[in-house]
């Protein structure tokens, strides 16, 4: 049994315990990982010495110069990280046996907060739907983490997904350069999402957008004829999944590509996760994104 499997994690009621298990499990496996955490910042290259671990070799430079160099990092302290979590109605969706997207995002946010706090980084929390719902400034203390976890556990999903206005509001409230991690299903029109992300990225923040989707959202629920009720708007639509599945996947893929193309121009990274993915791989993806930034 994988301790980081969402199904296993979802059985743990205490959010702090969840976060601790995930982070410790993640850290235990980190020795195999080339990543050093959020606060590690690249500083310089130096020539490779025979005693240097091979994981520090910059293979790209080797590819260009045919000479071995290793990367040197400088630990950065007190990075201000804002975790934005979408609490719109669509985040309350889950298919049979899975966590809701909000639950998944909550657990992931708690894990990130726990991990960041261990690195003495300041973590803040923002919950939003079509407006700001929760605002906790970044902090590093244990009490701050407790308060943040309590707020996370109280989050419920309702309302519509906000885009430009909400993101602009959030960007204005984050004063200095820092890191912003968005946990959302991005269930908003793409043409609205792109300017919102642009607005957020314009504040020199490092932006990591994690799209969380349920498996049913990727390939539609099974059934002959379904009457779907939108969790955000309450409107109904009758479909025959077998007939529209291909079109739906095509539209969904196109929206994701548009978003990826748009984000590529900013200092931002998109990560796509599913509610059935284990948290270890998600954390790894986030750290990989961090390195690419």
Chain residues binding another protein by CB under 8 A are 89-93, 101, 161, 185, 187-189, 214, 216-217, 221, 223-233, 235-248, 251-252, 255
Q: How far is the CB of 179 from another protein (least distance, A)?
A: 27
Q: How far is the CB of 8 from another protein (least distance, A)?
A: 24
Q: How far is the CB of 260 from another protein (least distance, A)?
A: 16
Spatial separation of the C-alpha atoms in residues 137 and 173, rounded to whole Å: 10
Q: How far is the CB of 238 from another protein (least distance, A)?
A: 6
CA-CA distances (angstroms) from residue 16 to 13, 66, 111, 135? 9, 48, 8, 19
Spatial separation of the C-alpha atoms in residues 198 and 200, rounded to whole Å: 5
Spatial separation of the C-alpha atoms in residues 151 and 206, rounded to whole Å: 24
Q: How far is the CB of 248 from another protein (least distance, A)?
A: 6
Residue nearer to another protein on the CB measure, 27 or 231:
231
Q: How far is the CB of 263 from another protein (least distance, A)?
A: 19
Task: Report how far apart the first and last C-alpha atoms of the chain are (Å, whole number).
Answer: 34
Residue nearer to another protein on the CB measure, 40 or 190:
190
Residue nearer to another protein on the CB measure, 140 or 252:
252
- For the chain, give the number of residues: 293
Residues 103/10, Cβ–Cβ less than 8 Å: yes
Residue nearer to another protein on the CB measure, 11 or 224:
224
CA-CA distances (angstroms) from residue 78 to 24, 40, 138, 273? 21, 11, 10, 27
Q: Which of 51, 55, 53, 49 is nearest to 67 (CA)?
A: 49
User: What long-range pairs does 134-140 form, CB within 8 A, spacing at least 24?
Assistant: 134/87, 135/173, 138/80, 138/81, 138/82, 138/178, 140/78
Residue nearer to another protein on the CB measure, 54 or 247:
247
Residue nearer to another protein on the CB measure, 103 or 214:
214
């Amino acid at each position: 049994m994988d301790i980081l499997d969402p199904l296993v994690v979802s059985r743990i009621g205490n959010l702090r315990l969840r976060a601790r298990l995930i982070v410790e499990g993640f850290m235990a496996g980190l020795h195999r990982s080339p990543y050093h955490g959020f606060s590690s910042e690249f500083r310089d290259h130096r020539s490779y010495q025979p005693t240097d671990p091979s994981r520090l070799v910059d293979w790209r430079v080797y590819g260009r110069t045919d000479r071995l160099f290793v990367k040197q990092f400088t630990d950065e302290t007190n990075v201000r990280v804002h975790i934005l979590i979408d609490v719109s109605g669509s985040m309350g969706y889950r298919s049979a046996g899975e966590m809701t997207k909000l639950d998944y995002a909550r657990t992931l946010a708690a894990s990130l907060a726990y991990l960041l706090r261990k690195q003495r980084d300041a973590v803040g929390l923002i919950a939003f739907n079509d407006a700001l719902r929760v605002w906790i400034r970044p902090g590093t203390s244990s009490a701050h983490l407790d308060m943040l976890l309590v707020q996370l556990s109280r989050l419920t999903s309702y309302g519509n997904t906000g885009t430009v206005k909400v993101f602009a509001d959030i960007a204005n409230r984050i004063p200095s350069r820092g890191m912003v991690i968005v946990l959302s299903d991005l269930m908003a029109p793409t043409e609205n999402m792109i300017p919102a992300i642009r607005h957020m990225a314009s504040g020199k923040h490092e932006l990591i957008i994690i799209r969380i989707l349920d498996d049913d959202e990727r390939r539609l629920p099974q059934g002959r004829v379904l009457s779907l009720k939108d969790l955000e708007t309450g409107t109904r639509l009758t479909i025959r999944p077998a007939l529209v599945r291909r079109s739906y996947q095509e539209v969904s893929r196109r929206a994701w590509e548009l978003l990826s193309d748009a984000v590529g121009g900013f200092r931002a990274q998109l990560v796509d996760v599913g509610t059935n993915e284990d948290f270890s791989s998600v954390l790894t993806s986030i750290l990989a994104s961090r390195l690419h930034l």
